[in-house]
Amino acid sequence: MTISQEAIDQALEKCKNQEDIFGENGLVKDFIKRLLQTALDAEMEQHLGYQKHEKPSPSSNSRNGYSQKQVKGD
Is 9 part of any domain?
no
Is 56 part of any domain?
no
Q: How many domains does the chain have?
A: 1
Is 62 part of any domain?
no
Structural domain including 22 reads 15-48
**CA 25 distance to own-chain centroid:** 15
Residues 50 and 46: their CA atoms lie apart, in Å, by 7
Is 67 part of any domain?
no
Is 33 part of any domain?
yes
Is 35 part of any domain?
yes
Can you say whether residue 65 is alpha, beta or left, with left for phi > 0 and alpha for psi between -120 and 50 degrees? Answer: left
pTM for the model stands at: 0.61
- List, for residues 9-48, the tens digit of each pLDDT value: 888 888 899 999 999 888 999 999 999 999 998 888 888 8
Is 5 part of any domain?
no
